[in-house]
């Protein structure tokens, strides 16, 4: 029986209450209690209107987005400059580790194709970290995922736009891959590429960045890596070696090249070519839509990035070169 029918509504005390208004009063009280519960739950995540980050006073303008680990708000400082403020919730030790890694990665890597960390702060309560605040430049044009979502279903993003963004992403990834020891971005996808006012691609969300070259010498180590990647690398863009790491071998930064191939595919055909299952990634089977304005060389570029054996996958500089050559052909320079 539905809960509503099981409610026995008795006449409230007080002679003045009329029969007609009683159900209405109970219903109002019911709505009010739902509203209170709802508000108290969400107020935990609601930003205070004015927040101080080190020496800056920041006023929240509006929410910008939400990820699995954070809420991002548009904020304004006293001088009227706009920023994106990422508020990272810390509830578990692994959240704190991810937050610290994200801040550390920002400090290590400098590139015009990687978002700059303007400022950061770690908030503690009773000695424990409860939240991280990351202040970032605000990108009004949003992300490549927003660009895909804004493109009407019967239209395609122009090849030049895709290739220019791919060249920028390669430059951003190179900044990680050329660190000593090399770093891997590990969560490349259209939602993690911001678009600058000039239309350039800029990598953001450095929370999954890790040492790229991992030697694995047992099944236990392979499973530990698999588990880590299940939490940090978005499944449809996750390389097969991160889904099913070898029990004896070494993986490297070319897991980002796989994700780049999937990202280029998604810019062209809206979604990753893989559905996020291990079976699909490990098979590496790509299919292209019948209606395809981009041509065979473009499809071959994606195919080269999504070779399942990472040891024969091209490096990021090779992919960047291929994108440049395609772009020159497209611009009629060859």
Ligand X SMILES: Nc1ncnc2c1ncn2[C@@H]1O[C@H](COP(=O)(O)OP(=O)(O)OP(=O)(O)O)[C@@H](O)[C@H]1O
Q: Is the separation of the CB atoms in 194 and 143 below 8 Å?
A: yes
Question: Contacting ligand X (CB under 6 A), which of 47, 65, 236, 314?
Answer: 65
Q: Is 111 left (phi over 0), alpha (psi -120 to 50) or beta?
A: beta
Q: Is 251 left (phi over 0), alpha (psi -120 to 50) or beta?
A: beta
| DSSP character at residue 324 | H
47 vs 65 by CB, closer to ligand X: 65
CB of 8 to ligand X, least distance (A): 46
CB of 25 to ligand X, least distance (A): 43
d(CA 136, CA 117): 5
d(CA 175, CA 184): 10
Enzyme catalytic residues? 187
Question: Contacting ligand X (CB under 6 A), which of 205, 241, 252, 253?
Answer: 205
Site string for ligand X, 220-259 (x = CB under 6 A): ----------------------------------------
Q: Is the separation of the CB atoms in 185 and 176 below 8 Å?
A: yes
| CB closest to ligand X, residue no | 67
Size of the site for ligand X (CB under 6 A): 23
Is 86 a binding residue for ligand X by CB under 6 A? The answer is: yes
d(CA 72, CA 86): 4
Site string for ligand X, 106-145 (x = CB under 6 A): ---------x--------------------xxxx--xx--
64 vs 286 by CB, closer to ligand X: 64
Please work out, in degrees rounded to the nearest 5, the angle formed at the alpha carbon of residue 140 by the alpha carbons of 160 and 85: 130
Quickly list DSSP for 281-301. HHH------SS-SS-HHHHHH
Helix axes 255-269, 159-177, angle to 10 degrees: 160
Is 148 a binding residue for ligand X by CB under 6 A? The answer is: no
101 appears as a binding residue in the annotation: no
Question: Contacting ligand X (CB under 6 A), which of 70, 164, 255, 272?
Answer: 70
65 vs 236 by CB, closer to ligand X: 65
Is 64 a binding residue for ligand X by CB under 6 A? The answer is: yes
137 vs 314 by CB, closer to ligand X: 137
* Token representation of residue 91: 């509830």
Question: Contacting ligand X (CB under 6 A), which of 117, 147, 204, 268?
Answer: 204
CB atoms within 10 A of CB 320: 20
- What residue numbers does the annotated binding site cover? 86
- What residue numbers does the annotated binding site for ATP cover? 86
**Chain residues that interact with ligand X, rule: CB under 6 A:** 64-70, 72, 84, 86, 115, 136-139, 142-143, 191-192, 194, 204-205, 207
């Amino acid at each position: 029986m539905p809960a509503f029918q099981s409610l026995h509504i008795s006449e409230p005390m007080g002679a003045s209450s009329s029969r007609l208004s009683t159900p209405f009063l109970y219903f109002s009280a019911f709505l009010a209690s739902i509203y209170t519960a709802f508000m108290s739950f969400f107020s935990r995540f609601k930003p205070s209107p004015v927040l101080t980050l080190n020496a800056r006073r920041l006023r929240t303008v509006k929410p910008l987005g939400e990820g699995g680990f954070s809420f991002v708000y548009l904020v304004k400082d006293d001088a009227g400059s706009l920023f994106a403020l990422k508020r990272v919730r810390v509830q578990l030790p692994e959240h704190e580790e991810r937050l610290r890694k994200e801040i550390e990665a920002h400090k290590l890597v400098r590139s015009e194709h990687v978002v700059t960390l303007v400022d950061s702060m770690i908030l503690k309560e009773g000695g424990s970290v409860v939240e991280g605040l990351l202040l970032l430049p605000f990108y009004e044009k949003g992300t490549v995922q927003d660009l895909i979502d804004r493109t009407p279903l019967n239209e395609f993003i122009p090849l030049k736009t895709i290739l220019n963004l791919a060249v920028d992403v390669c430059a951003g990834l190179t900044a990680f891959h050329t660190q000593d020891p090399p770093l891997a971005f590990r969560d490349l996808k259209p939602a993690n590429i911001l678009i600058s006012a000039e239309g350039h691609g800029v990598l953001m969300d450095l929370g999954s960045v890790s040492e790229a070259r991992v030697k694995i010498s047992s099944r236990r180590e392979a499973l530990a890596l698999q588990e880590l990647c299940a939490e940090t690398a978005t499944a449809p863009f996750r390389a097969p070696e991160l889904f099913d790491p070898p029990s004896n071998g070494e993986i490297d930064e070319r897991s980002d090249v796989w994700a780049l191939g999937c990202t280029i595919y998604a810019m062209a055909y809206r979604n990753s070519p893989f559905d996020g299952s291990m079976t699909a990634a490990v098979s590496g089977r790509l299919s292209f839509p019948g209606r395809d304005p981009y041509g065979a060389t473009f499809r071959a570029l994606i195919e080269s990035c999504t070779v399942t054996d990472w040891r024969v996958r091209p490096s990021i500089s090779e992919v960047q070169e291929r994108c440049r050559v395609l772009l020159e052909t497209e611009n009629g320079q060859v």
